[in-house]
């Protein structure tokens, strides 16, 4: 029995999130169906670096699994992709140490949130970017983002539904990447709470719209109360970009 590590990309539009749920289409469900076919009906457990919500995409999700099949390493991708639906792709496969764990060995993650600043809806990007056609003060948003870099209790910036007790995380960087008619947020940290990136984006957008001051971020962190932060940005703009090991 060997352990393998895969880099997986998926379009989250038609999924009810990553994690298996009864009677719902999920990324994990599709992966495990493909592994089951490949292993002649045997159930294969797939573990990921973390969950993603319904509508959220991934360019750099990482999974691990154990198998006793004698498939050449460079053929795993071909074998799996022939069994997976078009909105999930195994980008690469490598053999991992027997103790490797996609979730528990992760040292950090990078998420990106993509926005369209066009005044008109684009029917072709509606599932992959959040349209925001209003003026934004990018300088104020960058100033606000600086208050969030560091190690803090991010209770105010996570869903009240989270079951995680320890809400201390380290945000190592927040970049705002401006394009022609677009804006992308890049978040790098040692870990992220449920809805944390989307709430951070929603709050920074309120700063950009002049509804909050940049220095209000410090007060929001100190309150440790979700009601003091901004709205949760829509799911379709969010991408799990990279996992660091």
DSSP 124-170: TTTTTSEE--S---HHHHHHHHHTT-EEEE-GGGS-TT---S--EEE
The β-bridge relationship of strands 238-244 and 168-179 is unpaired
Q: Answer yes or no: are the C-beta atoms of 147 and 138 closer than 8 Å.
A: no
Q: What is the pLDDT of residue 127?
A: 97
pLDDT reported for residue 157: 98
- β-pair type (57-67, 238-244): parallel
Please report the pLDDT score of residue 215 as a whole number. Answer: 97
CATH architecture of 108-244: 2-Layer Sandwich (3.30)
Quick count: other Cβ atoms within 10 Å of Cβ 130? 22
- How far apart, in whole angstroms, are the C-alpha atoms of residue 213 and residue 207? 6
Match 């993603």 to its residue by tokens: 52
Helix (H, G, I), strand (E, B) or coil at 31: helix
Which residues touch 211 (CB under 8 Å, ≥6 apart)? none
Q: Within the chain, which residue ranges are assigned CATH 3.30.70.580? A: 2-96
| Portions of the chain given CATH number 3.30.70.660 | 108-244
Q: Which residues of the chain have pLDDT under 70?
A: none
What would the two tokens of residue 130 be? 């959040």
Q: What is the DSSP letter of 73?
A: G
The reported pLDDT for the residue numbered 163 is 85
State both tokens at 75. 């053929």
From the centroid of its chain, how far is CA 231? Answer: 18
Cβ pair 221, 156 in contact under 8 A: yes
- Cα distance between the two ends of the chain: 23
123-182: per-residue pLDDT in tens?
999 999 999 999 999 999 999 999 999 999 999 999 988 889 999 999 999 999 999 999
**pLDDT at 125 (0 to 100):** 95
**DSSP bridge pairs for 94:** 5
DSSP code for 51: -
What is the set of active-site residues? Answer: 53
3-state secondary structure of 221: helix
Structure tokens at 112: 């990106």
CATH topology for 2-96 is Alpha-Beta Plaits (3.30.70)
Neighbour count for residue 245 (Cβ, 10 Å): 12
């Amino acid at each position: 029995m060997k352990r393998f590590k895969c880099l997986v990309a998926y379009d989250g539009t038609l999924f009810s999130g990553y994690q298996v749920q009864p009677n719902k289409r999920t990324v994990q469900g599709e992966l495990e169906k493909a592994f089951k076919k490949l292993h002649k009906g045997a159930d294969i457990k797939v573990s990921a670096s973390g969950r993603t919500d319904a509508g959220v995409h991934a360019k750099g999700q990482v999974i691990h699994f154990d198998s006793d099949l004698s498939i050449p390493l460079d053929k795993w991708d071909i074998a799996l992709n022939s069994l997976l639906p078009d909105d999930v792709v195994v980008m690469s496969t490598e053999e991992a140490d027997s103790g490797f764990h996609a979730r528990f060995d992760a040292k950090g993650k990078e998420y990106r949130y993509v926005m369209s600043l066009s005044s008109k809806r684009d029917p072709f990007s509606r599932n992959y970017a959040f349209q925001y056609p209003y003026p934004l003060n990018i300088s104020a948003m960058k100033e606000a983002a600086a208050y969030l870099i560091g190690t803090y209790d991010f209770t105010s910036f996570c869903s009240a539904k989270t079951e995680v007790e320890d809400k201390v995380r380290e945000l190592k960087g927040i970049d705002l990447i401006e394009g022609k008619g677009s804006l992308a947020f890049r978040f790098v940290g040692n870990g992220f709470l449920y809805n944390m990136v989307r709430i951070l984006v929603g709050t920074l957008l309120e700063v950009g719209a002049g509804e909050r001051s940049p220095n209000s971020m410090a007060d929001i962190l100190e309150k440790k109360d979700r009601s003091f932060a901004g709205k949760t940005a829509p799911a379709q703009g969010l991408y799990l970009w990279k996992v660091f090991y």
